[in-house]
Amino acid sequence: MTAEKPTKNQLVVKNLTHTYDDGQRKVEVLKGINATFESGKLYAIVGESGGGKTTLLSLLSALDNVQSGEILYNGTSIKKIGAQNFRLKYSNIVFQSFNLIKYMTARENVEVGIDFTGNKSDRSEKEYAYDLLHEVGITQEEADRLVQRLSGGQQQRVAIARSMAGDVPIILADEPTGNLDEKTEAKVLELFKSLATSGKIVIVVTHSQKVATNANAIVYHMKNGKIIT
């Protein structure tokens, strides 16, 4: 019998278990997680603090190593792909704290993302960075400002533009709207929906059920290290 081929651009989690040693005892933070994420869809991983969301995101983005179970990208274990290679070619993460370089302009921050990923374009890095920032609603005037002179919502858009620089197939976001007002939050969620529509896997980790509902995402609820829905 021929094995079924995986859907193109698919991330599959199989029986994922993860334990931390806090110095006094071992704490099982993930308990047999199973999930599938496919291209063209927006996913929200929802749950209270301590439920395992951030640990799962760290494993999905290869920032932490799988201890037990598997994470497969298009049928190949990310262990076999290699963590550094996976982060470079296949995934990018947007943090709540933006992780931008404050002494650089918005455009220069995106150019760093272009340099890091080695993404090639027939345009100059400067033009490509402007184009990416324009896609997320940052004007050229704003692009030439130091990021610390931009609003929180604008900085989050810059972080999203930087994540787009490598044109990777998987975008992950850790509480990306946690510091934003309601109006800006809605605009940022629209950006993530647009990225999913373009054919990427987009996974947003949040403690807010409201965010998941507003994004019309496929929702995975996590509690005590397990996916309960």
Look at residues 68, 117, 87 and name the one whose alpha carbon lies nearest to residue 78: 87
Contact 65, 77 (CB under 8 A): no
| Whole-prediction pTM | 0.83
Tell how many helices (H) and how many strands (E) occur in the chain.
9, 10
Query: Domain extents for the chain?
Result: 39-63+83-227
Task: Say which CATH superfamily domain 39-63+83-227 falls into.
Answer: P-loop containing nucleotide triphosphate hydrolases (3.40.50.300)
Look at residues 62, 167, 149, 61 and name the one whose alpha carbon lies nearest to residue 110: 167
In tens, the pLDDT along 162-220 reads 888 877 899 999 888 777 778 877 888 888 888 899 999 999 988 877 777 776 789 89
Look at residues 14, 17, 12, 51 and name the one whose alpha carbon lies nearest to residue 31: 17
In tens, the pLDDT along 18-75 reads 998 877 788 899 999 999 999 999 999 998 888 889 899 999 999 999 999 999 999 9
Q: How far apart are the C-alpha atoms of 229 and 38, rounded to whole Å?
A: 17
Q: How many beta carbons lie within 10 A of that of residue 198, not counting itself?
A: 13
In tens, the pLDDT along 4-30 reads 444 478 999 999 999 988 777 888 999
